[in-house]
Amino acid sequence: MTAPVTIAICILTAVVTQIGFAKPALLQRLLFKPREILVEGQWDRILSSALIHADWMHAGFNLFAFYSFGSAIEILYGWKTLVVVYLFSVMGGSLLSLFLHRHHQYAALGASGGVSGIIFATIFLVPGTGVSLFFIPIAIPGNIFALVYLIGSFWGLRKRMGNIGHDAHFGGAIVGLVFAFAIRPSLCLADPLYFWGSIAVAVACLAVLFVDPTNSSGSLLPKSKRN
Protein backbone atom coordinates (compact mmCIF):
# COMPACT_ATOMS: atom_id res chain seq x y z
CA MET A 1 0.00 0.00 0.00
CA THR A 2 1.14 3.55 -0.74
CA ALA A 3 0.65 6.86 0.98
CA PRO A 4 0.43 9.46 -1.83
CA VAL A 5 -0.45 12.44 0.37
CA THR A 6 2.41 11.71 2.76
CA ILE A 7 4.76 11.60 -0.23
CA ALA A 8 3.24 14.78 -1.67
CA ILE A 9 3.82 16.69 1.59
CA CYS A 10 7.42 15.47 1.62
CA ILE A 11 7.95 16.60 -1.98
CA LEU A 12 6.32 19.99 -1.36
CA THR A 13 8.46 20.57 1.72
CA ALA A 14 11.63 19.53 -0.11
CA VAL A 15 10.88 21.81 -3.08
CA VAL A 16 10.11 24.87 -0.93
CA THR A 17 13.19 24.14 1.21
CA GLN A 18 15.38 24.11 -1.92
CA ILE A 19 13.82 27.34 -3.20
CA GLY A 20 14.48 28.88 0.21
CA PHE A 21 18.17 27.98 -0.07
CA ALA A 22 18.33 29.79 -3.43
CA LYS A 23 16.21 32.78 -2.41
CA PRO A 24 17.12 34.14 1.04
CA ALA A 25 14.38 36.79 0.82
CA LEU A 26 11.74 34.07 0.50
CA LEU A 27 13.30 32.14 3.37
CA GLN A 28 13.07 35.23 5.58
CA ARG A 29 9.42 35.72 4.61
CA LEU A 30 8.49 32.16 5.56
CA LEU A 31 10.36 32.06 8.90
CA PHE A 32 8.49 31.88 12.19
CA LYS A 33 8.96 35.35 13.74
CA PRO A 34 6.79 36.49 16.67
CA ARG A 35 7.03 40.22 15.95
CA GLU A 36 5.98 39.85 12.32
CA ILE A 37 3.09 37.62 13.37
CA LEU A 38 1.78 39.71 16.25
CA VAL A 39 2.59 43.23 15.03
CA GLU A 40 2.33 42.90 11.26
CA GLY A 41 -0.37 40.23 11.20
CA GLN A 42 1.61 37.72 9.12
CA TRP A 43 -0.16 34.72 10.62
CA ASP A 44 0.73 32.52 7.68
CA ARG A 45 4.19 32.17 9.27
CA ILE A 46 2.58 29.84 11.83
CA LEU A 47 2.41 27.21 9.06
CA SER A 48 4.87 28.41 6.41
CA SER A 49 7.90 27.91 8.66
CA ALA A 50 7.30 24.14 8.43
CA LEU A 51 8.09 24.25 4.71
CA ILE A 52 11.68 25.45 5.11
CA HIS A 53 14.78 24.02 6.78
CA ALA A 54 18.27 25.13 7.73
CA ASP A 55 20.05 22.53 5.56
CA TRP A 56 19.46 19.17 3.89
CA MET A 57 20.46 17.17 6.94
CA HIS A 58 17.82 19.04 8.95
CA ALA A 59 15.23 18.48 6.19
CA GLY A 60 16.23 14.86 5.70
CA PHE A 61 15.71 13.90 9.35
CA ASN A 62 12.31 15.57 9.43
CA LEU A 63 11.08 14.18 6.12
CA PHE A 64 12.31 10.65 6.85
CA ALA A 65 10.50 10.66 10.20
CA PHE A 66 7.37 12.20 8.67
CA TYR A 67 7.22 9.56 5.93
CA SER A 68 7.98 6.68 8.31
CA PHE A 69 5.14 7.55 10.69
CA GLY A 70 2.83 9.59 8.48
CA SER A 71 2.43 6.82 5.92
CA ALA A 72 1.06 4.52 8.64
CA ILE A 73 -1.51 7.14 9.64
CA GLU A 74 -2.56 7.70 6.02
CA ILE A 75 -2.85 4.01 5.19
CA LEU A 76 -4.82 3.10 8.32
CA TYR A 77 -6.87 6.25 8.93
CA GLY A 78 -6.93 8.10 5.61
CA TRP A 79 -5.23 11.14 4.15
CA LYS A 80 -7.62 13.62 5.75
CA THR A 81 -6.63 12.41 9.22
CA LEU A 82 -2.95 12.72 8.28
CA VAL A 83 -3.35 16.29 7.04
CA VAL A 84 -5.45 17.43 10.01
CA VAL A 85 -3.09 15.97 12.60
CA TYR A 86 -0.03 17.35 10.81
CA LEU A 87 -1.34 20.88 10.30
CA PHE A 88 -2.71 21.19 13.82
CA SER A 89 0.55 19.84 15.23
CA VAL A 90 2.50 22.47 13.30
CA MET A 91 0.10 25.09 14.64
CA GLY A 92 0.35 23.74 18.18
CA GLY A 93 4.12 23.93 18.16
CA SER A 94 4.09 27.41 16.62
CA LEU A 95 1.50 28.77 19.03
CA LEU A 96 3.42 27.54 22.06
CA SER A 97 6.56 29.17 20.61
CA LEU A 98 4.59 32.33 19.98
CA PHE A 99 3.50 32.49 23.61
CA LEU A 100 6.98 31.82 24.97
CA HIS A 101 8.75 34.22 22.61
CA ARG A 102 6.10 36.92 22.20
CA HIS A 103 8.43 39.56 23.69
CA HIS A 104 11.65 38.31 22.08
CA GLN A 105 13.55 38.75 18.88
CA TYR A 106 13.27 35.18 17.70
CA ALA A 107 13.18 33.12 14.51
CA ALA A 108 12.58 29.44 13.85
CA LEU A 109 12.12 27.10 10.92
CA GLY A 110 11.45 23.43 10.27
CA ALA A 111 8.69 20.84 10.33
CA SER A 112 9.55 19.15 13.63
CA GLY A 113 6.46 20.40 15.46
CA GLY A 114 4.23 18.70 12.91
CA VAL A 115 6.46 15.64 12.75
CA SER A 116 6.35 15.31 16.55
CA GLY A 117 2.55 15.36 16.43
CA ILE A 118 2.50 12.66 13.76
CA ILE A 119 4.93 10.49 15.74
CA PHE A 120 2.85 10.75 18.91
CA ALA A 121 -0.41 10.09 17.08
CA THR A 122 1.12 7.00 15.45
CA ILE A 123 2.49 5.67 18.74
CA PHE A 124 -1.00 5.50 20.23
CA LEU A 125 -3.07 4.86 17.08
CA VAL A 126 -0.92 2.06 15.62
CA PRO A 127 -0.35 -0.62 18.28
CA GLY A 128 3.17 -1.94 18.51
CA THR A 129 4.80 1.13 17.03
CA GLY A 130 8.43 1.47 18.05
CA VAL A 131 10.87 4.30 17.48
CA SER A 132 14.36 3.59 16.15
CA LEU A 133 17.17 6.07 16.76
CA PHE A 134 20.37 6.06 14.73
CA PHE A 135 22.61 5.49 17.73
CA ILE A 136 20.44 2.75 19.29
CA PRO A 137 20.34 -0.57 17.38
CA ILE A 138 16.91 -1.64 18.65
CA ALA A 139 13.51 0.05 18.49
CA ILE A 140 12.32 1.80 21.65
CA PRO A 141 8.71 0.86 22.54
CA GLY A 142 6.51 3.76 21.52
CA ASN A 143 4.85 4.23 24.89
CA ILE A 144 8.21 4.56 26.66
CA PHE A 145 9.51 6.89 23.94
CA ALA A 146 6.48 9.16 24.41
CA LEU A 147 7.23 9.79 28.07
CA VAL A 148 10.97 10.18 27.54
CA TYR A 149 10.43 12.54 24.60
CA LEU A 150 8.06 14.81 26.51
CA ILE A 151 10.37 15.04 29.50
CA GLY A 152 13.44 15.49 27.29
CA SER A 153 11.82 18.25 25.21
CA PHE A 154 10.71 20.07 28.34
CA TRP A 155 14.17 19.75 29.87
CA GLY A 156 15.83 21.01 26.69
CA LEU A 157 13.41 23.92 26.56
CA ARG A 158 14.04 24.99 30.14
CA LYS A 159 17.80 24.59 29.83
CA ARG A 160 17.90 26.23 26.37
CA MET A 161 19.90 23.33 25.02
CA GLY A 162 21.31 23.66 21.53
CA ASN A 163 20.01 25.59 18.55
CA ILE A 164 16.81 23.53 18.64
CA GLY A 165 13.19 24.66 18.96
CA HIS A 166 12.22 22.35 21.80
CA ASP A 167 9.04 24.36 22.36
CA ALA A 168 7.71 23.47 18.89
CA HIS A 169 8.56 19.79 19.45
CA PHE A 170 6.75 19.83 22.78
CA GLY A 171 3.68 21.67 21.49
CA GLY A 172 3.36 19.43 18.45
CA ALA A 173 3.67 16.27 20.54
CA ILE A 174 0.85 17.39 22.83
CA VAL A 175 -1.41 18.03 19.84
CA GLY A 176 -0.60 14.53 18.55
CA LEU A 177 -1.60 13.05 21.91
CA VAL A 178 -4.91 14.94 21.92
CA PHE A 179 -5.77 13.89 18.38
CA ALA A 180 -4.89 10.27 19.06
CA PHE A 181 -7.39 10.20 21.91
CA ALA A 182 -10.03 12.02 19.85
CA ILE A 183 -9.65 9.62 16.92
CA ARG A 184 -9.46 6.28 18.72
CA PRO A 185 -9.74 6.53 22.54
CA SER A 186 -9.99 2.77 22.95
CA LEU A 187 -6.50 2.28 21.52
CA CYS A 188 -5.04 5.01 23.73
CA LEU A 189 -6.62 3.52 26.82
CA ALA A 190 -5.36 0.05 25.94
CA ASP A 191 -2.17 1.20 27.64
CA PRO A 192 -3.62 3.58 30.24
CA LEU A 193 -0.48 3.88 32.37
CA TYR A 194 1.64 5.33 29.59
CA PHE A 195 -1.14 7.34 27.95
CA TRP A 196 -2.34 9.04 31.13
CA GLY A 197 1.25 9.29 32.27
CA SER A 198 2.08 11.17 29.07
CA ILE A 199 -0.95 13.42 29.53
CA ALA A 200 0.01 14.12 33.16
CA VAL A 201 3.58 14.98 32.20
CA ALA A 202 2.39 17.23 29.36
CA VAL A 203 -0.10 19.09 31.58
CA ALA A 204 2.44 19.54 34.37
CA CYS A 205 5.06 20.87 31.96
CA LEU A 206 2.57 23.23 30.31
CA ALA A 207 1.57 24.55 33.73
CA VAL A 208 5.20 25.35 34.49
CA LEU A 209 5.66 27.07 31.13
CA PHE A 210 2.58 29.25 31.57
CA VAL A 211 3.47 30.18 35.14
CA ASP A 212 7.10 30.94 34.33
CA PRO A 213 7.61 31.35 30.57
CA THR A 214 10.59 33.68 30.95
CA ASN A 215 12.85 30.85 32.14
CA SER A 216 12.24 28.95 28.92
CA SER A 217 13.51 31.38 26.32
CA GLY A 218 16.22 33.89 25.60
CA SER A 219 15.80 37.55 24.74
CA LEU A 220 17.87 37.53 21.57
CA LEU A 221 18.80 34.69 19.26
CA PRO A 222 21.48 35.35 16.63
CA LYS A 223 20.27 32.66 14.25
CA SER A 224 17.13 30.71 13.56
CA LYS A 225 16.17 27.82 15.79
CA ARG A 226 15.73 24.48 14.06
CA ASN A 227 12.39 22.75 14.62
CATH label of the domain that carries residue 31: 1.20.1540.10
Query: Phi, psi (5° rounding) for residue 221?
Result: -115, 125
- Which letter, b or e, does each residue of 177-209 get, where b requires 16 or more Cβ atoms within 10 Å of its Cβ? bbbbbebbeeebeebeebbeebbebbeebeeeb
Cβ atoms of 151 and 96 within 8 Å: the answer is no
What was the pLDDT predicted at 133?
Answer: 62
Give the predicted TM-score (pTM) of the model: 0.87
What was the pLDDT predicted at 221?
Answer: 39
User: Residue type at 58?
Assistant: H
Domain range spanning residue 13? 4-226
Between 135 and 75, whose confidence is greater?
A: 75
Q: Count how many domains the chain has.
A: 1
What was the pLDDT predicted at 1?
Answer: 62
